[in-house]
């Protein structure tokens, strides 16, 4: 099937576009991609997400949890201190608040990235974020070994 152009046979029947978060976001969605070439610059939200995106989001969430565990292990060992001032604040409150906040911030960011999956920064940013997390975890494992 070829991509549709902006030439519509009839005017748009909708009074207003579907909002970013609606019932179709979670149940009963039908749109996987943007069909019209001209809509690619304006309508960026869809309501069905790919398995590839799910794997990327879950990978980032798991890598974030591994990073938190390794960070806490290295801090307990006395090898490092928390460099992120926001996370250091929560770490001073305890391990539980640190872990919950790290997981929550990551999960919220991933939800936003998932909803905005067709934005160029997201398509570029997700693979880059995975590579950065992998590099950080490899570095933390290296620090743990020495």
- Signed CA dihedral, 85, 89, 90, 95: sign only: positive
What Rg do the C-alpha atoms of the chain give, in angstroms?
20
Task: Please tell me the distance from the alpha carbon of residue 103 to that of residue 110, in angstroms, as a whole number.
Answer: 10
Which is higher by pLDDT, 6 or 113?
A: 113
Q: How far apart are CA 22 and CA 111, in angstroms?
A: 14
What average pLDDT does range 108-132 have in this prediction? 88
For 28: left if phi > 0, alpha if psi spans -120 to 50, otherwise beta; the answer is: left
Across residues 24-28, what is the average pLDDT?
A: 59
At residue 8, the pLDDT reads 57
Name the pLDDT band for 117 (thresholds 50, 70, 90): confident
Element (H, E) at 83: none
Q: Residue 46: helix, strand or coil by DSSP? A: coil
pTM of the complete model: 0.72
User: Tens digits of per-residue pLDDT, 34-85?
Assistant: 566 665 555 566 667 788 988 999 999 999 999 999 999 999 999 899 999 9
Treating both helix axes as pointing N-terminal to C-terminal, what angle do 51-77 and 120-145 enclose, rounded to 10 degrees? 30
Compute the mean pLDDT over every residue in the chain, rounded to the nearest whole number. 82
Specify the pLDDT at position 133: 95
C-alpha to C-alpha distance for 87 and 102, rounded to whole angstroms: 7
Cβ–Cβ under 8 Å, residues 59 and 110: no
């Amino acid at each position: 099937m070829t991509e549709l152009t902006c030439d519509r046979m009839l005017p748009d029947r909708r009074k207003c576009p579907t909002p970013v978060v609606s019932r179709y976001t979670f149940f009963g969605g039908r749109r996987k991609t943007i069909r019209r070439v001209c809509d690619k610059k304006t309508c960026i939200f869809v309501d069905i997400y790919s398995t590839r995106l799910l794997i990327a989001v879950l990978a980032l969430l798991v890598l974030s949890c591994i990073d938190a565990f390794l960070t806490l292990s290295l801090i307990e060992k006395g090898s490092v201190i928390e460099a992120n001032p926001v996370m250091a604040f929560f770490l001073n409150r305890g391990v539980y608040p640190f872990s919950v906040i790290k997981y929550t911030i990551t999960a919220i960011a991933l939800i936003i990235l998932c909803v905005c999956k067709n934005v160029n920064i997201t398509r570029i940013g997700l693979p880059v974020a995975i590579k950065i997390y992998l590099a950080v975890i490899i570095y933390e494992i290296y620090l743990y070994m020495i």
